[in-house]
Amino acid sequence: MVTERSAQVVVASNRGPVAHAFTDDGGLTARRGGGGLVSGLSAIGPDADAVWVCAALGDADREAARRAGRRLDAGDAGGQAVRMLDIPSETFAAAYNGVANSVLWFVHHLLYQTPLEPSFDAEFTRQWAAYETYNAAFADALAEEAADGAAVLVQDYHLALTPALLRERRPDLRIGHFSHTPWAPPDYFRLLPDATAAAVLRGILGADRAAFLTRRWADAFTACCAEVLGAEVTYGEADRGEAGGGGQGGDGRGGDGEPRVTYEGRTTRIGVHGLGADGEFLRERSRRTDVTERIGRLREQIGGTDRHTVVRVDRTELSKNIVRGLHAYRELLTERPEWRERVVHLALAYPSRQDLAVYRDYTAEVARVAEKINADFGTPGWTPVVLHVKDDFARSLAAYRLADVALVNPIRDGMNLVAKEIPVVSDAGCALVLSREAGAYEELADDAVTVNPYDVTATAHALHEALTMGAEERTARTARLAAAATALPPAEWFLAQLEALRGV
Ligand code: G6P
């Protein structure tokens, strides 16, 4: 039983490990979420005094939080003690939709473009105040849960202010922050209002250790600290040597070689932990009957048994570059008509952040472009693009297994786990077309066909190259990709961070 100020490990994130829904009779159901953090935290075992603090994301979550009192039961929440914060819905919407997803996400993914350029006006000032309130609510809850000297792991851009706010409340804690996104280079980051840019950096520098998915994003963060705050950045010799070679820079376990940012007399260590795929879980899960059933259904939609498949699986997310991927596929069919009737593009694009008009429009655009390809090229026995827009994990795994080619072409992506998961699960080996702007590129580039995500013609060529790759080469590359992709599975990724934080 976890009591106040008793948790030795506390995780904080906007989206928690469990989501609730109402049943027809007014009851509540709980569904455990996926993702690296959920399986990572389970690595410390059910006996550890751990609490996960997250936000209630909708009315059903709010109701569950109200009914539970202070904390949801570990059983109800899928194995972890969860504290779900009931933040007033207006504050939550302004912080989550307004600041986190419309501004910080856009800045780190370099997504602003005309006519979507930001203008920071009175509305933003109001949203920013909500973002501060939301971060303070997390800091309050964390201060209540954490035992003396406990390790607190704060996640992502939603909670950039929380580390510094928590340090004010509880200077005894070991505080870590982890960014699951890329980090913007200084020239782009400075597009934020000066006070906002400084507040975001200062907030994260409230942590003892700030960690990133790749060396590239960590370097961008330290560059922003130097340029925006005038902070001092120092490097251990060993670490610079490795990072110069484009590697992960150290073993990620917090050795002395880590970069450090010193600002206003405090020093924050900077770490890199490249989250990998959970090979064991994926292999087992993808063999279950719900997946094999879906393989059957997808095969029917693909038609002819000798057809090749180009698979992509994403949230309908602007940074995933789904539309340019479809344009590249169209160009393949136009420029190399020999592929007509012989290939099917299986695009699983699951609705995401539909409260934002720009995401709704993007989801509609994906459907429009796919339909147009089908209208222009389709024949009675061949649908060139099979698009699914409803979230279904078993169907994603089925598509992974069927993939001959995986298309992962984000404009910019913190890591991209799909690029790591498909080679692990694919039945017959799969050629990976990979954007050089995905974090996964640092680990997978050698065995992928790599592309500039803006270059539609180069992507069409890459699809052709991947589709014509010989079976032997494809199998060999897939084996190497799968090994690289599972180098740091979620449990080890999580424990490495915890160990490094405790070692600070
Ligand atoms: C990215 C972010 C996560 C976020 C996820 C889904 O991976 O780094 O923090 O949870 O997208 O986005 P959502 O807005 O649905 O939580």
Ligand 1 proximity of 181 Cβ (cutoff 6 Å): yes
What whole-number distance in Å separates Cα of residue 151 and Cα of residue 83?
A: 16
Ligand 1 proximity of 179 Cβ (cutoff 6 Å): no
Out of 72-81, 109-118, 131-140, 411-420, least confident range: 72-81
Task: Determine the pLDDT at residue 43.
Answer: 75
Out of 201-205, 244-248, 277-281, 430-434, least confident range: 244-248
Look at the domain 7-275+491-502 and name its fold: Rossmann fold (3.40.50)
Please give the number of the atom of ligand 1 that sits closest to the Cα of 96: 14
Q: Which of 466, 465, 415 is nearest to 437 (CA)?
A: 415
Query: Which of 97, 156, 183, 418 to mutate for ligand 1's pocket (most ligand atoms within 8 Å of CB)?
Result: 156
Mean pLDDT value across residues 66-91: 81
Other beta carbons within 10 Å of 379: 10
Q: Is the pLDDT of residue 50 over 70?
A: yes
Task: Determine the pLDDT at residue 117.
Answer: 82
Task: Determine the pLDDT at residue 114.
Answer: 66
Please, are residues 72 and 54 in contact by the beta-carbon 8 Å criterion? no
**Ligand 1 centroid from CA 494, angstroms:** 18
Q: Is the pLDDT of residue 74 over 70?
A: no
Mean pLDDT value across residues 303-315: 93
Please give the number of the atom of ligand 1 that sits closest to the Cα of 156: 9
> Whose structure tokens read 């150290």?
250
What whole-number distance in Å separates Cα of residue 149 and Cα of residue 14?
A: 23
Ligand 1 proximity of 294 Cβ (cutoff 6 Å): no
pLDDT in tens, 211-231: 999 999 999 999 999 999 999
Interface predicted TM-score (ipTM): 0.98
What whole-number distance in Å separates Cα of residue 374 and Cα of residue 364?
A: 15
Task: Determine the pLDDT at residue 59.
Answer: 92
Pick the residue whose CA is nearest to atom 8 on ligand 1. Answer: 180
Q: What is the mean pLDDT of the chain?
A: 92
Q: Which of 343, 345, 340, 347 is nearest to 307 (CA)?
A: 343
**Ligand 1 centroid from CA 355, angstroms:** 14
Please, are residues 389 and 371 in contact by the beta-carbon 8 Å criterion? no
CA 74 to chain centre: 25
Q: Is 279-485 in the same CATH topology as 7-275+491-502?
A: yes
The domains of the chain are located at 7-275+491-502, 279-485
**Ligand 1 centroid from CA 338, angstroms:** 39
Q: Is the pLDDT of residue 293 over 50?
A: yes
Please, are residues 364 and 323 in contact by the beta-carbon 8 Å criterion? no
Tokens of 352: 């995401």
Task: Determine the pLDDT at residue 392.
Answer: 94
Question: Is the pTM above the cut of 0.90?
Answer: yes
Task: Determine the pLDDT at residue 243.
Answer: 40
Q: Which of 422, 399, 407, 430 is nearest to 332 (CA)?
A: 407
Tokens of 195: 């006070």
More confident residue, 65 or 173: 173
Tokens of 100: 């986190």
**Confidence band of 60 (pLDDT split at 50, 70, 90):** very high
Which CATH number, 3.40.50.2000, 3.60.15.10, 3.90.850.10, 3.40.718.10, labels domain 279-485?
3.40.50.2000
Ligand 1 proximity of 352 Cβ (cutoff 6 Å): yes
First to last CA, the chain: 29
pLDDT in tens, 331-386: 999 999 999 999 999 999 999 999 999 999 999 999 999 999 999 999 999 999 99
Mean pLDDT value across residues 382-400: 96
Task: Determine the pLDDT at residue 42.
Answer: 76
pLDDT in tens, 144-194: 999 999 999 999 999 999 999 999 999 999 999 999 999 999 999 999 999
**Ligand 1 centroid from CA 315, angstroms:** 9
Q: Is the pLDDT of residue 477 over 60?
A: yes
Pick the residue whose CA is nearest to atom 10 on ligand 1. Answer: 15
Q: Is the pLDDT of residue 412 over 60?
A: yes
Other beta carbons within 10 Å of 289: 8
Q: Which of 107, 111, 103, 110 is nearest to 127 (CA)?
A: 103
Bridge-partner residues for 37, per DSSP? Answer: none
**Ligand 1 centroid from CA 337, angstroms:** 38
Ligand 1 proximity of 109 Cβ (cutoff 6 Å): no
pLDDT in tens, 1-42: 557 888 999 999 999 989 999 999 989 998 888 777 887 887
**Confidence band of 242 (pLDDT split at 50, 70, 90):** very low
**Ligand 1 centroid from CA 198, angstroms:** 23
Mean pLDDT value across residues 50-69: 91
Please give the number of the atom of ligand 1 that sits closest to the Cα of 414: 8
What whole-number distance in Å separates Cα of residue 489 and Cα of residue 480?
A: 16
